Structure 1
Amino acid sequence: MIENRPWLTVCSHLVLLLGVFIVALPVWVALVASTHPSSAFGSGSIPMWFGDQALANWQQALVGKEGQASDLLRMTVNSLIMALGITFGKILISLLSAYAIVFFRFPFRSAAFWVIFFTLMLPVEVRIVPTYEVVANLDLLNSYTGLTLPLIASATATFLFRQCFMSIPGELVEAARIDGAGPIRFFFDILLPLSRTNIAALFVILFIYGWNQYLWPLIVTTDDAYYTLVMSVKRMLSVSDGDIAWNQVMVSTLLAMIPPVLVVIGMQKLFVKGLVETEK
């Protein structure tokens, strides 16, 4: 019997509404601020309703003052290249490494997995000095390869794919072997279709991870041509003289939020299914 507790329902909804308000308020402030002129923030107060400069602010940010592509648009392309490169690189390497660990028999197979897993204790921030030295020695500074290559290895994705592959029945592997399927055909025709939802869930997580990178691009890029969008927000706030163009800062902030939001919305069903699906 399900008990009806109206006060519990009201309290739970109030908590949810409070959480939505806390999360949505900064987005609302950024959206409103992007529609006002820069002079509207001189008094230190933040407008809470829309202004009449939305089209001019967005046009200046995306098109530029002289009809040429702005730096903000170029940074968006750089962020997109970096995020997609990291995402596809992590998924590919993790798929292959998990496939080798689960389905191939070789000495020290378990030790190889645990060595990969222990790298979770060594994120980029911990090994950033030797990683930078390697990238510099390979002459990969100020390049898309330097932005993406050091970040594509992922112990987390390898672990998740390993758990996914271990749930595949052994009878399926034997049936594929009897039908004459080799390792490559088994990987492409059986494993990849069965891992579709897991790949989709990891794609969303890894894309957001790659898109939000700030420290690594800041270190390996000194050329404006390779700056990312997340870096642009910090650069716009670092003004030595004069007032900060808060309207342009908010436009940059909103533009930085759009791609991850679109990825989450577009892949929402596969993302949720990939996180909760346990049966093959």
Structure 2
Amino acid sequence: MIENRPVFTFFAHAVLLVGLAIVIFPIYLAFVASTQDSSTFLGGVVPLLPSSHMLETYGRILGSGFGSIPVWRMIANSMVMALGIAIGKIAISIISAFAIVYFRFPFRTLAFWLIFITLMLPVEVRILPTYSVAAGLDLLNTYQGLILPVIASATATFLFRQFFMTIPDELLEAALLDRASPMQFFKDIMLPLSRTNIAALFVILFIYGWNQYLWPLIITTDQNMTTIVVGIKQMVNVADGDPQWQLVMGTAILAMVPPVLVVLFFQRWFIKGLTEPEK
């Protein structure tokens, strides 16, 4: 039993508040910078309080945007990519794990370990052959090209496999007695039991897809297919003149909104999926 000592409680809360301040302060500073005018940055000092240019800055960002593509289009491209990657990875991984655990076929264990070994081959290692295949299939400058080459996930397959192995065999025997088909067993029993794991993985994989930079940078040459992460980098790289940092910071703040909303919406399921998987 853990003793409830006021001193320890105060110390724990103080540490948490300090950690929260360290995390929040850069975000707050970026928000304050987005509310300033362009001349403020020439002095080299950013104020600690917001300015009156906030509506002007965010109106320009959401309206005309920056450059040839509006910010809302870049956010939409990132949303499609992140959702496609998250949903696709979960769908492929859960079916693969189900087949590995509940079907008996030659080299079943070898197939799993071959999938698991791909964890040592990130996108950066296989970028050239992946790009060559995508170009050969005419996937450049398409949503399919952004999603399909990075849709497989050995991590999700491993996690689903480990979870399925904890399911009692009595459930499978009951399904066999009821003459349920494999897909009925998967749909009616395994999917409901896996919903917390699916929610937790969805949050992780959505953020993974949203933060992708290298692959969208290579696979897309059309400005209309630019994602928000690549777009922010392009805003900083200005050929003539200084970057408009208030627009860059404002776009960065807007780019954080979708992942934060996803985390907040799935927070209860995310924590439950990581700590208390249902069986």
Residue 42 of structure 2 aligns with which residue? Answer: 42
Amino acid of the structure 1 residue aligned with 2:232: V
What is the distance in 2 between the residues matched to 1:209 and 1:59?
29
Letter of the structure 2 residue corresponding to residue 141 of structure 1: L
Q: Paired residue for 2:231?
A: 232
- CA displacement, residues 240-279 of structure 1 (integer Å, 9 cap, x when unaligned): 2112111100111011100000000001000000001245
Distance in 1 separating the partners of 2:50 and 2:263: 27
Q: Distance between the aligned counterparts of 2:216 and 2:22, measured in 1?
A: 30
Q: Secondary structure at the match of 1:42?
A: helix
Q: Structure 1: give runs of 5+ residues left out of the alignment.
A: none
TM-score normalized with structure 1 length: 0.95
State the distance in 2 between where 1:50 and 1:167 align: 52
**Are 1:57 and 1:248, in contact at CA under 8 Å, matched by a contact in 2?**
yes
Superposition deviation, residue 157 in structure 1: 0.2
CA distance in 2, matches of 1:258, 1:279: 30
SS class of match (2:43): coil
1:60 aligns with 2:60: yes
Q: Where does residue 218 of structure 2 map in the other structure?
A: 219
| Aligned twin of 1:164 | 163
Distance 1:97 1:160 in 2: 11
The answer for the alignment partner of 1:103 in structure 2 is 102
Superimposed CA distance per residue, residues 171-209 of structure 1 (whole angstroms, 9 cap, x where no aligned partner): 110101111210111111111011010000000000000
Aligned to 1:208: 207
In structure 2, how many angstroms separate the alpha carbons of the residues matched to 1:242 and 1:150? 37
Task: Point out the more displaced range, 257-266 or 162-171.
Answer: 162-171
Q: Which amino acid aligns with 2:261?
A: L
* Shift in Å, 1:14: 2.7
Tell me by how many angstroms 1:10 deviates: 3.6
Alignment-mate amino acid for residue 184 of structure 1: M
Q: Does the CA contact (< 8 Å) of 1:232 and 1:252 recur in 2?
A: no
In 1, the alpha carbon distance for the partners of 2:276 and 2:102 equals 21
Percent sequence identity over aligned pairs: 61
CA distance in 1, matches of 2:27, 2:3: 38
CA distance in 2, matches of 1:222, 1:245: 23
Q: Deviations over 1:96-141 (max 9, x none)?
A: 1001000100011111001000100001011111111111111111
Mapped partners of 1:2, 1:210: distance in 2: 40
Q: Which amino acid aligns with 1:125?
A: E
Q: CA deviation at 1:70?
A: 5.6
Aligned to 2:177: 178
Do the aligned residues in 1 keep the contact of 2:196 with 2:277 (CA within 8 Å)?
no
Map residues 1-280 of structure 1 onto 2, 5 A cutoff: 2-3=2-3, 5-64=5-64, 71-280=70-279
Cα distance in 1, alignment partners of residues 250 and 73 from structure 2: 15
Distance 1:38 1:259 in 2: 26
AA of the residue aligned to 1:15: V
Matched residue count: 277
Q: Is the 8 A contact 2:37 2:246 kept in 1?
A: yes
Look up the equivalent residue of 2:165 and give its one-letter code: M
Amino acid at match of 1:55: L
When the two structures are superposed, what TM-score results if normalisation uses the length of structure 2? 0.95
Which amino acid is 2:224 matched to? A
